Chain A
């Protein structure tokens, strides 16, 4: 478990989704929206290409919290805002700062960035220590 105190950073999660990640996540999650898996379709609707599932990126934000606290049972609530879009084959970095800490509750302000742009912003995680 990470050393927690108010103002401290949780350990970053850095992950580079490979070329086929969106296909695997589509199968795992059941979300087959073609903007995530079909390059031609994505371009036809004005996107730069296939984009990441926002909920996959949210899962990376969740994983940063559960890894920092030592297991899935610590995560009680997570709220996020999606912004812009994430792209395959570029590193996603999740960072977070402890804002509140008591015997019952830890609150972390957290974001996910790609190429310096926030793709998840204003996210807040509530955990048990």
Chain B
């Protein structure tokens, strides 16, 4: 069955995420960060930040919720049970700190078939409350046996 490419270009409702100080610290500890700018308010202030700094990969926390709707969009017909996360790219802009409000909008960037596998590429763009881009994510999911 060929992949359905009609949804390429489709965009989804923005998702708002409010970055909490304790959430940043919880995430930083879970991934083994020891840099005090992620864990200690005063250290972050001393380094010139308004509050604790989200580690770059905290991007998954604020942007992944916006990638759920395309993955489960019936128009895309993505077979979730056979899906694996094939590759991932993040490109970062302005640092994210506790207190920020991040808005993420996702879109279907590409859908194609190669060697019997379906490739579903989603793009998420995240901006802060000042409209500055903080992250662009490219999420490539691979479905076996399309």
Contacts and interface: CB of A to CB of B under 8 A. Distances in A.
A82 B30 contact: no
A34 interface: no
A68 to B, nearest CB: 12
Interface in B12-69: 23, 26-27, 29-33, 35, 37-38, 47, 53, 55-57, 60-61, 64-65
A60 B65 contact: no
A24 B30 contact: yes
B37 A66 contact: no
Interface residues of A, number: 30
A121 to B, nearest CB: 10
B-side interface size class:
20 to 34
B88 interface: yes
Contacts of B89: 77-80
A73 interface: yes
Interface string A67-85: 1000111011111111000
Interface of B is mostly: mixed
Given A28-B26, A29-B60, A60-B31, 5 more contacts: A56-B31, A62-B57, A67-B35, A72-B38, A82-B84
24 contacts: A15-B32, A25-B30, A27-B26, A27-B30, A28-B23, A29-B27, A29-B60, A30-B61, A54-B88, A55-B57, A58-B57, A59-B32, A63-B31, A63-B32, A63-B33, A66-B55, A71-B37, A72-B38, A72-B95, A75-B56, A77-B91, A79-B87, A82-B84, A82-B85
Interface of B: 23, 26-27, 29-33, 35, 37-38, 47, 53, 55-57, 60-61, 64-65, 84-92, 95, 138
Interface of A: 15, 21, 24-25, 27-31, 54-56, 58-60, 62-63, 66-67, 71-73, 75-82
